[in-house]
Amino acid sequence: MRRLAIANMKGGVGKTTTAVHVAAGLARRGQRVLLIDTDPQGNVAHVFGLRPERTLKDLILGEAPLESVVCRKVRERLDIVACSTASFALETQLAGQMQRETILSRRLRGITSYDTVVLDSSPAMNLLSFNALLFASEVILPVSMDAMALIGARQTLNGLQEIRELWPDRPLRLTAVLPTSVNPATLATRAALEAMERDAVMSSNLYRPGIRQCIDLTYAMAQRATVWEYAPRSRAAEDYDGFVDFIVREAGEGAHAQEA
């Protein structure tokens, strides 16, 4: 089972949009996918129009098993664990608890009914972010075309390295740095891409051409739909299709490498 975390310590870079489309895109390709929202802003539930009685907070606190917090068949082959603002209090509620950074991993231990779990993370290195990253084995780093997003990306990469050092037994690799809101005609995009090319870690994992700027993504989210449902011929639909294909190929190449 693949475990993909979508992470960047800067908000507004397309994390939730990417998490939704990676999860939905893999489900469209026949995979059984669980999308877990670990951001207390709860944007995943908003995108899909969900109002679940049980959320990630109940799972983390042990007040409900996974089976009762999963929203099933939100789309074909796509299930969701939603988050809400109630999770903002988890830092305080779990203060002093041993190994609180790995609670989610323990709650999800033995999960076998999915091909891929996708985790949308908070724009901060908080308790829920640690839980998401310590459950994940791969990270996708969306980066919008502005200087603050680049700073957030570098902070995230530093955080990933710290996690590898503190928990060396937990594999965590950077699968892709994903440029979002790309408009090659603007100076901001060109400057951001050039900066990523100069960074050794980002450049070696950079997915080009990224996700082009497209108003249909905004409209799709407002209509509680994926871009493939709202505007299947848009450039955003084309770009996310290409990126999901890349994610699928990465899984195949990784399997071949292990066999070799």
Confidence of residue 171 (pLDDT cuts 50, 70, 90): confident
| Residue 110: per-residue pLDDT | 84
Confidence of residue 22 (pLDDT cuts 50, 70, 90): very high
| Residue 257: per-residue pLDDT | 41
Q: How many residues does the chain have?
A: 260
Residue 259 has pLDDT above 70, yes or no: no
- Taking only the tens place, the pLDDT of each residue in 31-47 is 999 999 999 999 999 99
Tokens describing residue 120: 């949308």
Place of tokens 């290195």: 125
DSSP string, 234-258: SHHHHHHHHHHHHHHHHHHHHHHHH
Share of the chain above pLDDT 70, in %: 97
Which fold does the domain 2-243 belong to in CATH? Rossmann fold (3.40.50)
End-to-end CA distance of the chain: 20
pLDDT average, residue stretch 98-114: 92
CB crowding 186-204: b at 16 or more within 10 Å, else e: eeebeebbebbeebebbee
| Residue 255: per-residue pLDDT | 45
| Nearest residue to 216 via CA among 226, 208, 204 | 226
| Nearest residue to 150 via CA among 108, 110, 197, 219 | 197
pLDDT average, residue stretch 244-252: 89
Burial class (CB in 10 A: 0-12, 13-18, 19+), 170: middle
Residue 256 has pLDDT above 70, yes or no: no
| Nearest residue to 174 via CA among 116, 212, 133, 129 | 133
- Taking only the tens place, the pLDDT of each residue in 174-229 is 999 999 999 999 999 999 999 999 999 999 999 998 999 999 999 999 999 999 99
Confidence of residue 69 (pLDDT cuts 50, 70, 90): very high
DSSP state of 86: G
Residue 156 has pLDDT above 70, yes or no: yes
| Exposure on the CB side of residue 45, measured as CA atoms within 13 A | 21
| Nearest residue to 139 via CA among 170, 165, 169 | 170
Q: Where are the domains of the chain?
A: 2-243
113: helix, strand or coil? coil
Beta strand pairing status for 33-37 and 116-120? parallel
| Residue 254: per-residue pLDDT | 53
How far is Cα 142 from Cα 7, in angstroms, rounded to an integer?
7
Residue type, 132: A
Q: What is the pTM of this model?
A: 0.94
| Residue 252: per-residue pLDDT | 62
Cα radius of gyration (the chain): 17
pLDDT average, residue stretch 72-81: 97
Tokens describing residue 61: 């606190």
Cα 81 to Cα 67, 98, 120, 248, distances in angstroms: 10, 24, 10, 23
